[in-house]
Structure formats: C-alpha cells, structure tokens
Amino acid sequence: MTAVEDPAAPDTPVQMAPAKEVGQARRRKEDARLITGETQWTDNIVLPGMLHMAMLRSPVAHARITHLDVSAAKDRPNVVAVYTGADFAEEQGSLPCAWPVTPDMVNPGHPSIAVDQVNHVGEAVAVVVARTRTAAADALEAIDVDYEPLPVVLDMEQAVQAGSPLVHDSISSNTSYHFVFDAGEAGTGADTDQAFADAEVTVSRRFVQQRLIPAFMEPRSVVVQPTRDNYTMWSATQIPHVLRVMAAMVTGIPEHKLRVIAPDVGGGFGGKLQVNPEEILALLVARRLGRPVKWTETRGESLMAAHHGRDQVQFIDVAADREGNVKGLRCRILADMGAYLRLITPGVPVLGAFMFPGIYKFPAYRFECDGVFTNKVPTDAYRGAGRPEATFAIERIMDELAAELGMDPLELRRKNWIGAEEFPFTTVAGLEYDSGDYAQATEQALELIGYDELRAEQQRRRESNDPVQLGIGFSTFTEMCGLAPSRVLGSLAYGAGGWESASIRMLPTGKVEVVTGSTPHGQGHETAWSQLVADQLGVPFEDVEVLHGDTAISSRGMDTYGSRSLVVGGTAVVKAAEKVVQKARAIAAHLLEASEDDLEFTGGKFSVKGTPGTGIGIQEVALAVFAAHDYPEGIEPTIDAEATYDPVNFSFPHGTHICAMEVDTETGFVKIRKYASVDDVGTIVNPLIVEGQMHGGLAQGIAQALYEEAIYDADGNLTTGSFVDYLLPSAADLPHFDTGNTVHPAPGNPIGAKGVGEAGCIASTPAVVNAALDAVRHLGVTDIRMPLTPERVWRAMHQGGDGGDRAAATSNAQGVTSSEAATASVTEGDQQ
Amino acid sequence: MTQINVRVDGESYTDDVEPRTLLVHYLREQLGKVGTVVGCDTSNCGACTVHLDGQAVKSCTVLAVQADGSQVTTIEGIAGEGIGGTLHPVQRAFHEMHGLQCGFCTPGMIMASIDLLKENPDPSETEVREGIEGNLCRCTGYQNIVRAVQQAAAEMRGAAPGDPDTSPAAVDTAAAEHVVAQS
Ligand code: FES
Ligand code: FES
C-alpha cells in the first residue's frame, strides 16, 4: 500500500495565512455548556408521546432459541409492544460490515435482534416498548425464553483447529478471512523466509493483546422520531454521516428521508464508530409504531453488548545479525472477531498490518492474519485500532532482540531507525513516512525523564538487591494517521472514501458559520476550527461558530476517527476559507474599483497594494453581497464556499515514550515512577488541546498495560461486566505525565498537522511493559501478560512463563483501585 | 407513591415519587435537571455527583425519598443566575486548565471537587488524585483535572483566607466577585 500520486493534481497548494490564532492555547469554546450542565446529551431528549425501549439480552453464549413467549410481558402495565426477532426477521436485514478485507472473506451476517440462535452473551432476543423507562425494564422479567445450548467457542487458537465446534454452522470453519501482506511479493522488500534462513540471530515471541472495552463515559443512547415517512435519529455516535447512509441501506428508509443528529457526545474512542443493533432496532420500532422511541443503555449493557477492542494473539519473529542490524520481520496474527462482523471488525488488524515494522529499516517483512469467530461480542475500533497492536509487537520484540544480543535497547533502536535525513522514506510495508526526527525526540525525552539518574538508581537497587527494583522502558513509535486517501482505501477494499468536507457561510453581519463533516465528541473542533478560520479570513476568533454532527446541516461528512479530524477535516476548512477569500476578492475589487490583481488581503481586509489603511474588510463584503445592490456582472452574489479534501498520503506522527517503573519483587506490585513522552504531531494548532489528547491517550494506553481486561469465563459470560470488575483507572491509579513536542510539519497538508488523538494510546503500552521487564529481566523474566497485575508479575518472577491467564476478574485488585475506592466512598459517605 | 419536598438549586419542589426512584432519576426525569448524568449502575463512576445538604453524594445511590426535606445542589445551581452568570471558581478552573474533553464526567467531577476543597482547601497533587478517586474520567487522563482543582483551590483561598470551614455556598459568594463571566 503506497501513497497514491495524484496524476491530475487538482489541488493547487493552499497558502496558510500568517499564524495569529494557530498555535495559541485558546480556552475551549465548547466548555461553556459542558461546565454548567447545559449540555445536550441524547438521553436528555424528551419528545411528546415518546416511548422507551428495553432489551432482553441473551444470558447464554451460544444456543438455539427453542421457545420465546412474550405474551405476559405485553400485559404488563404501560407496555405498548413487545417484539422478538421473528417480528423483524423479514425487514431487519444485516448490520453492515464496510470492510471485506479479502475477496473471499466470510461474513455470516449480523441480525440486530436474534431470530433463532444467539451467538454471544448480551445479544438482544426481545425488545419491550413502554411508556416509561422503568415499565419497559420491569416487563423484561415476564418474557419466557428457552435456550438449547450449543458448544461455546472462546479460545482462538482452538477455534482455528480442524474439528473445533463452529460459531456459525452455516459456514465451514471459524476463520472469516486470511489476510497476507508479503513485502517480497509486493515488491517493497526482500524475501522474508530467505532473510530468516540467512539470519545470525532470530527471536520469536508470542504476545497476547488482551480484549479491551472502549468504555466511553456516556452510555450509548438513541432517540428516533418518525413523522410519517421522515425520520430523525439522535444518537450518541461518532459517525452521524456514515450511520445515516448505512441505516438507510439496512432499513430501506430512503436516505433523504432520514436525518441523523449527533448532539453532544460523551466520548467514543472508536467505541461509537459503529452502526449499532440498537440504533437499527430503534428505527424499526419507530417505523412499526409510528411513535418516537428512546433507548439508553445501562453500563452493564454497554460493557456486555457494545463492541470491544484489541484481542489478538501475535506470533512475532525477528531476524538480525550479531551487530544488531535487523534483517527481517515475520508476524502471524490471530484476531478475535467475536461472533459477528460489525462495521470495520475485520479491518482493524489490517489497519495495523503495515505498521509492524515501526520506525525500523527492515529489508524483509511478512504479515499474515486470520480473523477468527468466537462466541463473544464483536470487536471493532478502539483508540488506535490495529496500530497499538502493531506498535506493541514491534516495540516489545525490539527489547527481546536487544536482550538476546546483549545490547542496550536504545542502542539497538538507534542502529535501525530511519534517519532524519532519509525522509520521505518508503518502508518495507510500502508506506511513505512523511517527516520527523526520531533521534531528536529521543534526546528530548531522555532529558525530560532524567534518564542518567534513573539508570544510576537502577544500578544501585540492583547491586543492593533492593526488594523494589527499577526498570526503564522505551517505545520509539510511529503511527499512520489522517485516515485516509480514498484511493488507498479503495485498494484495500474499504467500502467508503476518506475525504472530508467543509463549508463556510458568511452571514450578513460578518459573523462566520463553519460547517464541518467531522464530528467531535470531546476533541475541541469548535475551538480549533475557529482558530484556523480566524487566521484564514482575518476575522475575530469569537466571530466564528462551528456547526457539526447533523446531516441536515452538514450534508457531507466522513466523521471522526483515526486521528483524521484536523489533518483531513481541518484542511477542508482551510480550503473552503481560501475559496471564500477568492470570491470576496472579486467583490472587493469591484467595490474598490480596482483590479483583483492589485488587491492584497491581510488581516481580514482587502486593500489596493501600497495603500494600506484604505480598503474593505471581508466582513463588510459579506454585508455587501447580502444587500447585493452593487456587485460585478456575471458572478453570484455570495461569498460562501464549500470544499472537499481527499488526502494524498497518510500522516505519520511519531515520538519517544519512556516509562520508569518500580516493581516490588516480593509482592509483584508495579508502580510507574515517572513517565515522559516527546511527540511529533506536526504543526500544533492548539497546544492545550494537543496536550489534553496526549494525556487521555496515555491514560488509556497505560491502562491496557496495567489494569484493563475483558474476561469471559468458560461458559462465555463476561465476568468484567461492571465498573467494579472492569478496572478503569482513577486519578489515583495514574502517574503525572511529562509531555513535550518536536515539530516537523506534515508535508502532505497545508496545516502541517499529523494527528494526535491516538498517539498516546498507541505509544505508551509497550513502554510500560518494557519498563516492568527491564526491572526484573535479571531474575529471568522475559514476558508478562497484560494487564500486569501483581499476581501475574509475581508468578512470572517466581514460577516462570508470562504470568498466565486470569481465572476471574477478582484477581484484578491492585493497591487501592478505583472500584474499591468508589465502593468504599459509597459505604462511608454516600448512603445518607 | 410518596410525597417529597425538596429544594433543588434554590427552588422548592413538591412531588410524588415511587419509593424506588433514585435521586438522579428524579432530578433528570421529573425535574428536567439533566445537567446531572448517569454513567454506571454500580456507583463507581461519580458522574451523578450532587450535593445533598452540602455533602457530595452519588445521586444514583440515594433514593429520592431520602432527599425529602433536604437541599440539593446540582451542577446547574453553582453558577450565578442567567446567561453569563458568574461561574463557580471550580467551573472556571476546569475551563482555564482544560480539565474536560467530552464533558460527560465534568458535572460530577466539579461537584466532587468542590466537596474536596471544602475538606481540604490546599490539597497536594496526590491529595487531589485520591480525593477524586470515586469519579471516573475516560478522556483527560486526570492531569488537567488535578491542575484545575489546585488552581481553584488557590483562587478560593485567596477569596476566603484563613477560613477552612468555608461552605461551598459561602465560597460561591466570596469568590463571585473575582470571577468574570466566561466569554
Ligand atoms: S451513575 Fe452514579 S456513580 Fe455512576
Ligand atoms: S471529559 Fe470525557 S469522561 Fe471526563
């Protein structure tokens, strides 16, 4: 997959105005309503006559439904209707999967509500519609279901064996697809098997990327209002535009009759990048009843039935010579799809497929991945989607190779990474890395964390045989952002493009409305886009209003994920602004009785060159075209403009993350002493927002290393089904982060931005695990399975291996956990 | 149905509620006080935190009937009245320090932080982290929330020096003159 050169080159390069707003730590516009409770969450919406839906969900992982009686539930007070899969079997179609990653990928189809078989715990089997939320929930207990159990498939390595029980007996195996990228075959590298045959040193490891839960704080919620043949859907979604197209195709509601609105959305992290079964069911129920319906999930439902993330078993082989020059990389991946393919379930590992070589100059590379069905809730995007998995594998195996060679892990990295002078650099996976300086970021990070003192302390503790050992772990990473060039997506069989759209409306009073197709849910678009437009149009920051998340307002959009918003959506905004200036120039020239060529545009004002101080402001031009009394012949009286930007390449943020970790060798307790990161995300539009994105990403990446794991028991029950058991870190569980930046603007877009949303989450996990291993490697430990619970760390030190499986969530306790603390505070303080 | 009398954000309400109704559902569904939100069903997340007679409580762990005769303050009741009303110093600090992203945890975080500062007007970073441990945020990584709480603490100490027992209400008034409406 290489960046596609655009033969027609339709885009003349856009000129950025001198940065006045861009680069400022503007406080966020969106905060005003969020800190005062005036936010519009989907669950706040109340409509006249609105009904409430509640789902009966399967308590078993794999079974035939042999009997389903809802009559008693229908008789419950205030219940309006009860539906089962049979009621919608004809019209529910299949939830969409937009990414058939191979031509022969098997997709068994995904009903929104089970018809005669359930394939994971939490799958909806009936839906109650009632006048109140509580009446709907109460009636669930009156539904009578009999299940005939089928063998449960949970373990991927067993599921791919011949003779394994099948998740879907309509298909012949549990393998959905086999995806291969071979650099030798693609012509981007040497023959991998040969590289391994010739290698002086090889290291092989099996890494487990545990299953995670996105766990956005706002539970999913949807409201549908039908008005005859028109439908308005409000949903707590990252993707109102994509959802509209997909929901129209699934339900047969014509696209122009369906409006989708994402009001304020409380986080997503990929977890709300989905066309949810419940969204489709809300549409089907509203259509059937002709009345508005609402569904808001409980946290228990969210953890059980909203899609999960990660969940790979990775077999990684690296080949090198004895001096530490890497020669080849081979990755075999088993990726757990869960029971069905949702929107981009199969594509997540493919997003990582090109990133396993990381920042290193591997001459040979081969990647293969099996997508495997199991009786669990489907996996799909979670912050980083594929790239954290790849980064973890390469950054962990580099440490293992260093240990094998007896080399310093940083020295090994330096020896093999792409030099600053080598950009743009085409990798063995065929990607063209755009810009950066890995050495510079590393030097800054070493200084930030106080590396030499930490190494000295490590030495002291080692020599004195201190029960608390210190380790230092690195992650020198890059990621692929700015999703995505549409032609590249096409070459990967993805079902849509990767462009973004924006339009700018100049109001008569000179105020500016910016409509963006990118849909924020915490990222601060309203602020950053205002900064971009303020600079480009020379208008005050306060005069700009950013509109988003409503298909009736922003008709075109590809929404928000993959660190794409600023890189792609921001560029569309800049291009639209440039068109506004172009249109305004013609009007201004007319009004000033000058030639367009003689006009200059600075600080929001057109003036004849050499006569500063005279002229007309762009905001005055807006009023002039509104009145339209005097404008040139042959042009339209408007300066509004629209632009669509399709990137020509990905962008490649990079950085160096360093974790210093204390490991108590007696208890297995691990504690991050210090964490420093220096990231290059290209040009920074708002340093406050960038820092916030880094912090949030770091928290989630560290949480994967230390705390989080979705665990199913042997019957396929999710035992981490509440925040008591699924351990989201609290403020007390996380360290202080020291963050910094280097700035190498992305050459691929006029802003120079590379994307920041996922960086922290992608980079941090291996730094943390490498740090723990660095603390205890001298005790013979070479791997510890994530999350690094005290039990696992202790076992790895005292019993060998990687610490093994956790039988149940109860072994998750680590120090004072957020769940313990919360429970304690409830019993002590809150029950009054 | 049981009749309750409550004062919420300075207004009096008399309502019939089901005995099982949680305070948070009463606030949201009967009073339309939707600034307070629900993030979990196991009292872990703190998104629903309000003040009940001046004490921070998770309103999903309190029955509406338990609030009978009480004063409830929500996120909607801590700023001055009306559009452009003066913000509480903690609200202002969350904005200044970028202590929020999606904002879903924010009402609960702010209400918990106000309570924390009442107990400890000059908390260290560790004390803030431990003090807000019962409130989960998935977006910020907490660092800027900690900064915000410390900044608000400094401002509130400046406003009411040497008065460790300052109640949130008193602080509201005391700090109000130092707080300008948010632009
Ligand atoms: S909703 Fe009350 S603690 Fe989560
Ligand atoms: S700001 Fe999103 S959960 Fe805290």
Per the DSSP assignment, residues forming a β-bridge with A599 are: A608
B135 is a domain residue:
yes
Whether A31-39+499-645 shares its CATH topology with A435-480+651-813 is answered yes
What's phi and psi for A188, nearest 5 deg?
-105, 0
| CA–CA gap between residue A476 and residue A462 (Å, rounded) | 26
Q: Measured in Å, how far apart are chain A's first and last C-alpha atoms?
A: 61
What's phi and psi for A350, nearest 5 deg?
-70, -30
Read off the pLDDT of residues A133-180 as tens digits, 9 standing for 90 and up: 999 999 999 999 999 999 999 999 999 999 999 999 999 999 999 999
Chain B CB within 8 Å of residue A828 CB: no
Chain A CB within 8 Å of residue B133 CB: yes
**Angle between helix A409-416 and helix A438-449 axes, rounded to 10 deg:** 160
Q: Is the pLDDT of residue A632 over 70?
A: yes
Spans of chain B, pLDDT less than 70: 159-183
3-class secondary structure, B86 = coil
Cβ A480 vs Cβ A354: under 8 Å:
yes
Spell out which residues of chain A touch residue B94, defining contact as CB-CB under 8 Å: 31, 35
Cis peptide before A787 (omega within 30 of 0): yes
Per the DSSP assignment, residues forming a β-bridge with A147 are: A65
| CA–CA gap between residue A222 and residue A230 (Å, rounded) | 16
CB atoms within 10 A of CB A260: 27
Spell out which residues of chain B touch residue A133, defining contact as CB-CB under 8 Å: 29
Chain A CB within 8 Å of residue B36 CB: yes
Contact A819 B44 (CB under 8 A): yes
Helices (H) and strands (E) in chain A, counts: 23, 28
Chain B CB within 8 Å of residue A509 CB: no
pLDDT bracket for residue A417 (50, 70, 90): very high
Q: What is the CATH number of the domain that holds B39?
A: 3.10.20.30
| CA–CA gap between residue A707 and residue A728 (Å, rounded) | 7
- The DSSP secondary-structure symbol of A712 reads B
My answer on whether B94 and B156 are in the same domain is yes
Determine the residue of B22, B34, B40, B136 to mutate for testing ligand 1's pocket, defined as the one with the most ligand atoms within 8 A of the Cβ atom.
B40
Contact A35 B106 (CB under 8 A): yes
B83 is a domain residue:
no
CB burial readout A47-78, b (16+ within 10 A) else e: eeebbbbbbbbbebbbbebeebebeebeebee
Closest A-chain CA to B181: A32
B82 is a domain residue:
no
B161 is a domain residue:
yes
Q: Measured in Å, how far apart are chain B's first and last C-alpha atoms?
A: 44
Spell out which residues of chain A touch residue B105, defining contact as CB-CB under 8 Å: 217
- Give the strand pairing for A309-320 and A293-296: unpaired
Tell me how close the Cα of B18 comes to any Cα of chain A, in angstroms.
11
Read off the pLDDT of residues A326-377 as tens digits, 9 standing for 90 and up: 999 999 999 999 999 999 999 999 999 999 999 999 999 999 999 999 999 9
Tell me how close the Cα of A419 comes to any Cα of chain B, in angstroms.
32
Does the beta carbon of B111 lie inside 6 Å of ligand 1?
Answer: no
| CA–CA gap between residue A316 and residue A393 (Å, rounded) | 7
pLDDT bracket for residue A613 (50, 70, 90): confident
Chain A CB within 8 Å of residue B51 CB: no
Tell me how close the Cα of B37 comes to any Cα of chain A, in angstroms.
9
Q: Is the pLDDT of residue A379 over 90?
A: yes
Read off the pLDDT of residues A16-63 as tens digits, 9 standing for 90 and up: 999 999 999 999 999 999 999 999 999 999 999 999 999 999 999 999
Q: What is the pLDDT of residue A422?
A: 97
Domain ranges in chain A are 31-39+499-645, 435-480+651-813
My answer on whether B10 and B70 are in the same domain is yes
Tokens representing A150?
């089928």
Of the listed ligands, the closest to the CA of B105 is 2
Chain B CB within 8 Å of residue A77 CB: no
Of A33, A35, A41, the CB nearest to B37: A41
Residue B101 alpha carbon to ligand 2 centre in Å: 5
| CA–CA gap between residue A557 and residue A239 (Å, rounded) | 9
Tokens representing A322?
């004895």
Closest by CA position to A231, among listed A210, A248, A208, A250? A248
Interface of B with A in 159-178 (CB under 8 A): none
Chain B CB within 8 Å of residue A28 CB: yes
| CA–CA gap between residue B48 and residue B56 (Å, rounded) | 10
Query: Strands, DSSP E only, in B1-119?
Result: 2-8, 11-17, 49-52, 55-58, 71-73
Q: Which residues lie below 8 Å from residue A160, measured CB to CB, with a gap of 6+?
A: A173, A174, A175, A334, A370, A372
B94 is a domain residue:
yes
3-class secondary structure, A696 = helix
Q: Counting atoms of ligand 2 from 1, which one is nearest the CA of B103?
A: 1
Residue A167 alpha carbon to ligand 2 centre in Å: 37
Tell me how close the Cα of A212 comes to any Cα of chain B, in angstroms.
14
Tokens representing B49?
């935190």
Domain boundary among the residues B77, B97, B126 is at B77
Spell out which residues of chain B touch residue A32, defining contact as CB-CB under 8 Å: 95, 182
- Is the backbone of residue A195 left (phi > 0), alpha (psi -120 to 50) or beta? alpha
- Percent over 90 (pLDDT), chain A: 92
Helices (H), A119-209: 133-139, 156-159, 183-186, 192-198
Closest B-chain CA to A686: B98
Residue A300 alpha carbon to ligand 1 centre in Å: 12
Residue B27 alpha carbon to ligand 1 centre in Å: 14
My answer on whether B128 and B166 are in the same domain is yes
* Domain limits for position B50: 2-77
Of B58, B87, B104, the CB nearest to A266: B104
> For residue A803, what are the CA distances in angstroms to A348, A600, A793?
27, 68, 6
Tokens representing A629?
């009394």
Q: What is the pLDDT of residue A612?
A: 73
pLDDT bracket for residue A12 (50, 70, 90): low
Q: What is the CATH number of the domain that holds B132?
A: 1.10.150.120
My answer on whether B137 and B94 are in the same domain is yes
> For residue B132, what are the CA distances in angstroms to A433, A493, B75, B118?
42, 46, 16, 13
For chain B, helix, strand, coil in percent to 5 are: 40, 15, 45
My answer on whether B98 and B158 are in the same domain is yes
**Angle between helix A525-537 and helix A571-592 axes, rounded to 10 deg:** 30
Q: What is the pLDDT of residue B162?
A: 40
Question: Amino acid identity, residue A816?
Answer: V
Q: Is the pLDDT of residue A810 over 90?
A: no
Supply angle C-alpha A62, A68, A74, rounded to 5: 135
What's phi and psi for B127, nearest 5 deg?
-65, -35
Region A296-307 average pLDDT: 98
CB atoms within 10 A of CB A197: 11
Determine the residue of A39, A217, A689, A728 to mutate for testing ligand 2's pocket, defined as the one with the most ligand atoms within 8 A of the Cβ atom.
A217
Handedness of CA A556, A558, A564, A568 (dihedral sign): negative
Question: Amino acid identity, residue A153?
Answer: V
- The DSSP secondary-structure symbol of B98 reads T
My answer on whether B95 and B161 are in the same domain is yes
**Residue A795 parent element (H or E):** helix A790-799
My answer on whether B97 and B164 are in the same domain is yes
Region A289-293 average pLDDT: 98
| CA–CA gap between residue A824 and residue A820 (Å, rounded) | 6
Question: Amino acid identity, residue A463?
Answer: E
Helices (H) and strands (E) in chain B, counts: 6, 5
| CA–CA gap between residue A809 and residue A813 (Å, rounded) | 8
Read off the pLDDT of residues A525-575 as tens digits, 9 standing for 90 and up: 999 999 999 999 999 999 999 999 999 999 899 999 988 999 999 999 999
3-class secondary structure, B173 = helix
My answer on whether B70 and B123 are in the same domain is no
Spell out which residues of chain A touch residue B139, defining contact as CB-CB under 8 Å: 217, 267, 522, 692, 696
Q: Which residues lie below 8 Å from residue A481, measured CB to CB, with a gap of 6+?
A: A562, A563, A564, A567, A650, A651, A652, A653, A754, A755, A757, A758
My answer on whether B140 and B165 are in the same domain is yes
What CATH number does the domain located at A31-39+499-645 have?
3.30.365.10
| CA–CA gap between residue A399 and residue A474 (Å, rounded) | 9
Does the beta carbon of B45 lie inside 6 Å of ligand 1?
Answer: yes
Q: What is the pLDDT of residue A807?
A: 52
Q: What is the pLDDT of residue A7?
A: 40
Cβ B101 vs Cβ A524: under 8 Å:
yes
Contact A28 B98 (CB under 8 A): yes
**Residue A51 parent element (H or E):** strand A51-57
Q: How many domains does chain B have?
A: 2
Interface test with B, best of A30, A35, A237 (most B CBs within 10 A): A35
Lining ligand 2 with CB less than 6 A are: A 217, 266-267, 522; B 100-106, 137-140
Residue B16 alpha carbon to ligand 1 centre in Å: 23
Read off the pLDDT of residues B121-163 as tens digits, 9 standing for 90 and up: 999 999 999 999 999 999 999 999 999 999 999 999 985 544 4
Record: fold of A435-480+651-813: Aldehyde Oxidoreductase; domain 4 (3.30.365)
B84 is a domain residue:
no
Contact B146 A41 (CB under 8 A): no
My answer on whether B93 and B158 are in the same domain is yes
My answer on whether B102 and B48 are in the same domain is no
Closest A-chain CA to B106: A35
Q: Is the pLDDT of residue A483 over 90?
A: no
Helices (H), A384-481: 387-405, 409-416, 438-449, 451-463
My answer on whether B103 and B165 are in the same domain is yes
CA A729 to chain centre: 19
| CA–CA gap between residue A740 and residue A735 (Å, rounded) | 16
Closest B-chain CA to A520: B102
What's phi and psi for A62, nearest 5 deg?
-155, 115
Cβ A373 vs Cβ A165: under 8 Å:
no
Chain B CB within 8 Å of residue A298 CB: yes
- Give the strand pairing for A641-645 and A616-617: unpaired
User: From edge to edge, which strands make up the β-sheet containing A144-149?
Assistant: A117-118, A63-69, A144-149
Interface test with A, best of B58, B63, B68, B98 (most A CBs within 10 A): B98
Mean pLDDT of chain A: 94
Residue B105 alpha carbon to ligand 2 centre in Å: 5
Question: Amino acid identity, residue A210?
Answer: Q
Q: Is the pLDDT of residue A804 over 90?
A: no
